[in-house]
Amino acid sequence: MHATDPAPGIVAGVAPTPVEAVPQRPADRADAAFRSLRSAIVEAALPPGTRLPEDVLAQQYGVSRTLIRGTLARLTAAGLVEVGKAKSALVANPSLTEARETFEVRRCLEREAVRLIATGPGAAVRAPLDAHIAQEAAAADAGGQVSGRLGAEFHILLGELSGNALLERYLGEVVWRCALILAVHGRNHDQHRSVDEHRELVDLLAAGRADDAEALVARHVTAVEERALSTAAPDAPLDLVTILRRY
């Protein structure tokens, strides 16, 4: 590639546009940038290997390059971004071996999370989980990648409701990595099936049936893992700025 060529994944001559409703405090804008990039990655809008230049992102989100470096560091720690040979940030491209290892850890963590919920708050978790499932169902009806992201967020919510802060942290990290793995390797899937299993899990949690909830979540995570077996590749060059405007 010549020095004057645009970077892969970026269309030359497109001026970055700040996102709408940008928070006023720089730290808040950096956090909004983190959430925006995370959503774009796990919804497969930014495929693996997409370059994430600091200057483009800083202008897009209205923050300094220093804050963008911190945002990219957070995404790297979450396993969603990796550093390339030229020390530039790229959307991560997890291997199938890494995928299997990630799902092994997730299964262990999530089984413990649902056991803690079923033997602890139980029925008290129905309201927040049902509210989230309603969003999942609406997104599944609409189609697209948003329903998959909301499905991942359901499992992150389980970590929050477990009452164990450390479990919440680690489960959240692992679930986001699984979402990226599905974006990279996953096959097409009717999200309505996952929504139905989430509803069934909530019923078990509310009834305090810890063993049944643990068995169901293990089967559910295994089914998600089995969908992460075929590799998908980007179809065409993409425009980083145009994509991020949607987030």
Percent share of the chain, pLDDT over 70: 85
**Predicted confidence (pLDDT) at residue 235 exceeds the cutoff of 70:** no
Element at 142 (helix H, strand E) = helix 126-142
Global pTM reads: 0.77
Handedness of CA 91, 96, 97, 100 (dihedral sign): positive
Q: What class has domain 26-93+233-244?
A: mainly alpha
**Predicted confidence (pLDDT) at residue 241 exceeds the cutoff of 90:** no
Distance, in Å, from the CA atom of 182 to the CA atom of 81, rounded to the nearest integer, reads: 15
Average pLDDT over residues 48-64: 93
Mean pLDDT lowest for which of 17-21, 114-118, 131-135, 188-192?
Answer: 17-21
Q: Which of 90-95's residues contact partners 24+ apart within 8 Å by CB, and which partners? A: 90/48, 90/49, 90/50, 90/51, 90/52, 91/41, 91/46, 91/47, 91/48, 91/49, 91/50, 91/52, 92/48, 92/180, 93/48, 93/49, 93/184, 94/48, 94/177, 94/180, 94/181, 94/184, 94/185
Residue pointed to by tokens 């992102």? 57
Top pLDDT among 84 and 189 is at 84
Q: What is the DSSP letter of 163?
A: S
Average pLDDT over residues 217-246: 72
Top pLDDT among 234 and 163 is at 163
Tokens of 160: 């929050």
Task: Identify the pLDDT of residue 21.
Answer: 57
**Predicted confidence (pLDDT) at residue 228 exceeds the cutoff of 70:** no
Q: Which residues pair with 82 in a beta bridge?
A: 90
Task: Identify the pLDDT of residue 118.
Answer: 96
DSSP labels, 103-116: HHHHHHHHHHHHHH
Top pLDDT among 26 and 115 is at 115
Q: What angle do CA 17, 242, 245 make, to 5 degrees?
A: 60
Top pLDDT among 181 and 8 is at 181
Mean pLDDT lowest for which of 146-150, 173-177, 208-212?
Answer: 146-150
Where exactly are the structural domains of the chain?
26-93+233-244, 96-227
**Predicted confidence (pLDDT) at residue 155 exceeds the cutoff of 90:** yes
Distance, in Å, from the CA atom of 45 to the CA atom of 37, rounded to the nearest integer, reads: 10
Mean pLDDT lowest for which of 18-32, 57-71, 94-108, 202-216?
Answer: 18-32
Top pLDDT among 18 and 36 is at 36
Alpha-carbon separation of residue 79 from 3, 38, 70, 180 (angstroms): 30, 10, 14, 9
Task: Identify the pLDDT of residue 5.
Answer: 39
Average pLDDT over residues 148-164: 94
Distance, in Å, from the CA atom of 215 to the CA atom of 212, rounded to the nearest integer, reads: 5
Q: What is the CATH number of domain 96-227?
A: 1.20.120.530
